[in-house]
Structure 1
Amino acid sequence: MTIVDPSETGTVSYQKSIPGNASPKMELYGNGSLASSPSDPLCNGFHYSVDAKYTSPPNGLRGVSPIDGHCGPDQCAPADNIWSIQPGTPVKIRMGSHPHTDGVQPESVPTWFTRIATNNAARPALKVKRDGAWKTWTYQQYHNDVVAAAKAFIHLGLEPFHAVGIIGFNAPEWFISDMAAIYAGGLAVGIYTTNSAEACLWNASDSRANIIVCDDDKQVQKIMKIRHELPHLKAIIQYLGTPAHGPEEGVYSWAELLDLAKYVPDVAIMERHAAIAPNKCCTVIYTSGTTGNPKGAMLSHDNLLWTSRMAMTEAFTTLKSRRDIQETFVSYLPLSHVAAQMTDLYLSINTAGVVWFAQPDALKGTLVDTLREARPTALVGVPRVFEKMAEKMQAVSKKNGAVKTWIGSVAQDVGLRGNLKRFNGRSNGNGNGNPLGWTLANAMVFKKVRQALGLDRCIFTCSGAAPMMKETLEYFLSFNIPIYDIYGMSESSAPHTLNLPGAFKIGSAGRELIGVVTKIDKPDAGGNGEICMYGRHIFMGYLGNEEKTREVLDAQGYLHTGDIGRKDSEGFLFITGRLKELLITAGGENVPPIPIEDAIKEELPIVSNAMVIGDKRKFLAVLLTLKSEIDLTTGAPLDRLTKPAQEWIKENVGQDVSTVTEAVGLTSLQKIIEKRMALVNKRATSRAQCVQKFKLLPEDFSIPGGELGPTLKLKRNVVAAKYSDLIEQFYDDTDS
């Protein structure tokens, strides 16, 4: 048995499952059984069998013949390394030290899904609104459709460890296609709906997609355009509407797909399961491609199942008691992103919960409507979603009368003071010692606001993908709606650290998930260094890309994230920058741009996006965009300012303007911005971190414009190229 000791270099922290006085050694498991750990007798006697833990299994899938030296699907295949670039090559699992937490038994996605679906057959699993009415799948129907789609995929020519690409807005058919791809021994690969045909070509070609599932004709036409360049592609499925092309052209409707299952016997599924192993790939998550072609992060069955189990354990054990209601999720974030897959797909099944699907225009204004109907118990978003929500809430409050406004203001003050006291990293965060007026404020304001947002049952309102601005976080705290920051990445199967009720510190990314290790590599005097991760959630490697895999996985098995951060004395992780985004000025000083950009947005609430410039330059400058309305059809920014932005300019500049064009031309607004920028510069730790020039851009950044990725992350290289002439003007001026 190989033992890896990830503690040789750097500052290591670990939590819960690893004793504080022990070296964080973890077993690497990949030889078909778990050998005894010389340092942890709790591991003795653990072994993994092929027996599935479910009652009355469909198709009798309980045991299979040995293939490739192992008995799939729940027996780990022999492995030589902790990483691989081939989906069918098994990897060693970074086993933890405690069998009841991070050392839980590996199993395959088909076994796991079948067990939960069988034991919760009559419970609602999926809900989607079609033609004005909600359609429901029970877990039995969900499972039946997965098996049928898996058989149909095999009939259409899906080969083991080849992909089923899925491009479309969140829907039951998206989930079913994902699970069916894995159930049939293939790979589930999400493709962003905003991808161009050329970008789709890269994902489909790189993953050797045999089948691509689309939601509508628009997406089908993208694939038809590039079909001649995809030698592996055998079929296209359209799950909404009637396809313009037919089966004779290799295009099938959803009903036609499911009907093909009748041609495939159960034994075909059994044969595919025999080649599956927990330590082989089942899903590929493509990075957003902000720095070149997207890389395919390969996630194993064990990556996804172990991580979702640990996230569920962390979340639910923090509660003093559970309510007798079904966990409820609302799916609206792009399912091509690992955070949405982990929450909407895997956590929902792990909890035997129900998923309500939002409408395709959710991020354009209808999300709250779905939230009110579903009343989720957990909600995951990205900072921009909550910022937009806060803006709308502020716009509504502006219309309140004097008395209602005063009551709301007093309640918000009580709410913020109470929550700032509670959420300071202490473990008791139970509401004791609330300020005077809390009960009244809760009855008159907090409950009503939560009900209006559809969050009255929501225990976990979480944010990921980027740090939440303090201003937005405190705004929601003032209504007693804590938003818990989560930190992770595709390569860590989503979460690595998370804030939770009772373990929440404002501005932090939270504490480690059970059984994972954080190393701060090469810390500076302030404790800031590169964040490195180790644990069972770390991905297998990048599909077909050994060079990039070796760049991020070191010899000890640590994932080098490229993020800069530090840990405080209570174990909370703070993200302070990103190595690739770090600006190194002409004077040689390292400047993390994100804290500066966040400070600018705090001082200037009318600013939607800020991008600091200054790499290899003699001073810092910044590009600013103003908050504007968006076209609800295309998602493109309009010239019209948001109502709160118009009001802010009226209050601070004294002029009525309604468009971005008018605002950009206001000399008086420029002067106000200069004054606020001076306040931002007062926070700077050195002169090199002061912004000397700014420019208001004529339109906001957006996904259609290319400046933002699918999860609303800023594409700095795209912005820099788009506004290169303007950027050069900052530094060409002789008076600078």
Structure 2
Amino acid sequence: MTYSSVGERFLAQCAASGAREAFRAPGHGGGWQSLTWSETADRARDLAAGLLALGVRPEQRVAIAAATRLEWVLADLAVTLAGAATTTVYPSTNAEDVDYILTDCAAVVVFAEDPTQLAKLRSGNGFVGDVHHVVLFDGESEGDAVLNLDGLAQLGRHHLAKHPDAVDQVLAAMAPEHLATIIYTSGTTGRPKGVELTHANWLYLGAAIASEGVIRQDHLQFLWLPLSHVFGKLLLAAQYEIGFVTAVDGRIDRIVDNVALIKPSFMAAAPRIFEKIYSRVMSTTGAAGGLQARIATRAFAIGIDAVRRKQQRRSVPMWQRAGLAIADRLVFAKIRARLGGNLEYLVSGSAALAPQIAEWFAAVGLPILEGYGLTETSGASFVNRPGSVRIGTVGVPLPGTQVRLADDGEILLRGSGVMRGYHNLPDQTAAVIDADGWFATGDIGELDAEGYLRITDRKKDLVKTSGGKYIAPTAIESAVKAACPLVSNAVVIADGRNFASILLTLDPDAVSAGTDPHVTVQRAIDTVNAGLNRWETVKQYRILPRELSVEAGELTPSLKIKRAVVVKNYAALVDDIYSGAGHDHRLG
């Protein structure tokens, strides 16, 4: 059946799935609460009617400024069923940028997580821009202009009592080309741009994912990703199409504990989460010492060698298969059990996954399906499939997505996942989407004979040393993080410099008390340097005194590094590296 809107598709899934579980989330009194598909539909319909009672009209923007939680999902569904368009706002966004985003998109209502988010919306005696109502997830109603979620639902029920077909009439008038979502790209430089995604974009993506048969209706997903980011949002589109269950909890400090508790079938994450799991396991194993550490070291040596053999399409000898069985029983099965015991695969996106991390998880028996997409392409354009993962690539295109490479290697994409355009920016839209519908991604890549895509770098991230040599910083940064479990973030500096250096942060959970991390770090950089061209090698490093943070402006909310901000914040340290006076941590 062809659907005209995400709301129509969602309600069709609710009608088909009825009493089956749709969502679960932490309850207010402890434990977890569940919602069936029918219950989810009822709650979303009441909230949608509440928005209609507030005067929200088709394609008007309704913003959500909150962390990932069940209420975010319900608010988004309410916006969809009311025919409006969700504008996503990260809860970490500062008041100035909140003002810019809400004014630029002309939002009329905002779902705000709590009074802290509400305070960012205040302006004089009212709210910023065109906002006339705010709905709080946590907090009490304040007069007519600030409602809580229950108050909006009650308003909706009163509206439906008078106009029982109100939501159905809105949905009947919706068309696939209508605006569904505006997601502002956090960007590593400049003002964020609002990416306009239509109902057709999300419907295409849900159907394309479902057609692969990788995610099944009996699957349980653990969703912690920021729903303000396209990666989190696309997983909801897939759920409405397929009908699996999603456990929602966006608290990052609870991820590992929640995986063990929820026992999901699959989980999507940015590479940093997989790096932290790898780092924690390897540090724990190393700290154990003795026979246990030797067994683990041998198990991973056998397991990773077997992974590499399979990647090269070479057979695994019988003696090695026997060793793998022992390694699995003594080491790998225990790691899988710590992660719930039911994971069939993991999904990685948002940034490059280091091949060494992918090999490690594959050895454990938890293949990572690395994919690739941008906000401008609805979040997913390529992905590896179970059973045919090619480590170091982002897989092959989703059905309906076309790809070609420009003369300079830039990846060009065309298909139903490509955005309608940048909000209020026709010139910038025309600069990236040509007359034939090809979207210029800004990423450089290579396609192999079987259509697997390898991302080699960002077009704008290539830097040139003072000697005129180009360096791809992200590749070096990923290699260093993979080679050293202690490193949480790495920032290569080389642009206009006579050699490359690197700023590092250490994961406090991975650094053992009383140990000197410099020995481990230097060994890792030596290993990475051995595989680089001479002009790419890292000559010096510095360990920063703290982790990079979103609050300091050094990371985007999706945890991408803002290189220029890091260099600015640590300008004195960078000057020390290149002044010739700094002799600590000199390498090579």
Q: TM-score, normalised by structure 2?
A: 0.91
**Contact 2:122/2:128 (<8 A) preserved:** no
Per-residue deviation, 1:403: 4.2
Match of 2:229 among 302, 312, 337: 337
Displacement after TM superposition at 1:734 (Å): 8.6
465, 468, 478: which is aligned to 1:585? 465
Answer with 1 or 2: which has the greater Rg.
Answer: 1
Q: Tell me the distance in 1 between the aligned counterparts of 2:101 and 2:154.
A: 28
Gaps of 5+ in 2: 584-588
Q: Counterpart in 1 of 2:586?
A: none
| Worse overlay, 170-179 or 676-685 | 676-685
Identify which of 70, 77, 93 aligns with 1:172: 70
Q: Write the distance in 1 (CA, Å) between the matches of 2:316 and 2:433.
A: 40
AA in 2 matched with 1:374: I
Is the 1:415–1:480 Cα contact (8 Å) retained in structure 2?
Answer: no
Aligned amino acid, residue 356 of structure 1: A
Aligned residue in 1 for 2:284 = 396
Tell me the residue number matched to 1:684: 532
Are the counterparts in 2 of residues 308 and 347 from structure 1 also a CA contact under 8 Å? Answer: yes
The letter for the 2-side match of 1:413 is A
| 1:22 equivalent in structure 2 | none
Which of 242, 246, 257 is equivalent to 1:355? 246
2:588 is the alignment partner of 1:722: no
Q: Please state whether the residue corresponding to 2:23 is helix, strand or coil.
A: strand
Aligned-pair Cα RMSD in Å? 2.7
Q: Specify the alignment match of 2:85 in structure 1.
A: 187
How far apart, in 2, do the equivalents of 1:355 and 1:227 lie?
A: 40
Question: How big is the shift at 1:606?
Answer: 2.9
Structure 2 Cα separation of the partners of residues 516 and 332 of structure 1:
27
SS in structure 2 opposite 1:305? helix
Deviations 1:250-299 (A, max 9, x none): 11111111000122413433443354210121111110132111111111
> What's the offset of the Cα at 1:111?
1.6
**Per-residue Cα deviation, 1:621-674 (whole angstroms, up to 9, x for no partner):** 32222333xxxxxxxxxxxxx3x3237xxxxxxxx358xxxx6xxxxx3x8756
Give every structure 1 segment of 4 or more consecutive aligned residues whose post-TM-superposition deviation is greater than 6 Å: 429-434
Q: In structure 1, which of residues 234, 237, 247 is the aligned counterpart of residue 132 of structure 2?
A: 234
SS in 1 for 2:332: helix
Specify which of 11, 14, 19 is matched with residue 122 of structure 1. 19
> Conserved in 2, the CA contact under 8 Å of 1:423 and 1:503?
no
* Aligned counterpart for 2:541 among listed residues 672, 675, 694: 694
**Match for 2:372 among 465, 478, 487?**
487
Q: Relative to 1, partners in 2 of residues 1:400 and 1:725: Cα closer, same or farther, differing over 3 Å?
A: closer
Aligned to 1:84: none
Give 1:516's match in structure 2, choosing from 389, 394, 401. Answer: 401
SS in 1 for 2:466: coil
Corresponding position of 1:387: 275
On the 8 A contact 1:414/1:435 being kept in 2, the answer is no
Return 5+ residue gaps in structure 1 as ranges.
Answer: 1-52, 54-104, 524-528, 629-641, 648-655, 664-668
Match of 2:153 among 258, 272, 278: 258
> Which residue does the alignment assign to 1:704?
551
Identity %, equivalent residues: 29
More helix by share: 2
For 1:119, what is the secondary structure of its paired residue? helix
SS in 2 for 1:256: helix
> Cα 1:457–1:674, aligned 2, differ >3 Å: closer, same or farther?
closer
Partner of 2:179: 281
The answer on whether the counterparts of 1:425 and 1:503 sit within 8 Å (CA) in structure 2 is: no
Q: Are 2:384 and 1:499 equivalent residues in the alignment?
A: yes
1:657-676 equivalent positions in 2, closer than 5 A: 657=515, 669=518
Match of 2:327 in 1: 441
1:356-435 map, 5 Å: 356-358=247-249, 360-361=250-251, 363-364=252-253, 366-398=254-286, 400=288, 402-424=290-312, 435=321
The alpha-carbon deviation at position 533 of structure 1 amounts to 0.7
Q: Which amino acid aligns with 2:511?
A: A
Give the Cα–Cα distance (whole angstroms) in 2 for the partners of residues 342 and 278 of structure 1: 16
* 1:554-609 alpha-carbon deviations (Å, 9 max, x no partner): 22211111111111222211111111111023333322111122233344443322
Partner of 1:562: 442
Q: Please say if residues 123 and 138 of structure 1, whose CA atoms lie closer than 8 Å, have aligned partners that are also in contact.
A: yes
- AA aligned opposite 2:196: M
Which piece of structure 1 moves more, 506-515 or 605-614?
Answer: 605-614
| Distance in 1 of aligned mates of 2:84 and 2:319 | 54
1:676–1:111 CA distance, 2 compared to 1 (3 A): closer
How far 1:497 sits from its partner (Å)?
0.8
Matches within 5 A, 1:549-628: 549-628=429-508
Secondary structure class of the residue paired with 1:646: coil
Q: Deviations over 1:341-378 (max 9, x none)?
A: 111x12222221111122x53x22x2122222322112
Instruction: For residue 509 of structure 1, report the CA deviation from its aligned partner.
Output: 1.1
Counting matched residue pairs gives 579
Q: Go from structure 1 to structure 2 and tell me whether the alpha carbon gap of 1:432 and 1:548 turns closer, same or farther (over 3 Å shift).
A: farther
For the structure 1 residues 329 and 735, does the alpha-carbon distance in structure 2 shift closer, same or farther, using more than 3 Å as the test?
closer
Closer, same or farther: CA 377–507 of 1 in aligned 2, 3 Å: same
Q: Shift of residue 475 of structure 1?
A: 2.3
Separation of aligned partners in 2, 1:335 and 1:537: 18
1:203 Cα deviation from its structure 2 partner:
1.8
Corresponding position: 1:304 with 2:202: yes
Quote the offset at 1:679 in angstroms: 4.3
- Cα distance in structure 1, aligned partners of 2:124 and 2:25: 31
2:4 pairs with 1:107: yes
Tell whether the 8 Å contact from 2:550 to 2:556 is kept in structure 1 after alignment.
yes
| Structure 2 Cα separation of the partners of residues 693 and 446 of structure 1 | 36
Measure the CA separation in 2 of the matches of 1:221 and 1:735: 46
Q: Distance in 1 between matches of 2:397 and 2:545?
A: 42
Aligned-partner Cα distance in 1 for 2:555–2:522: 26
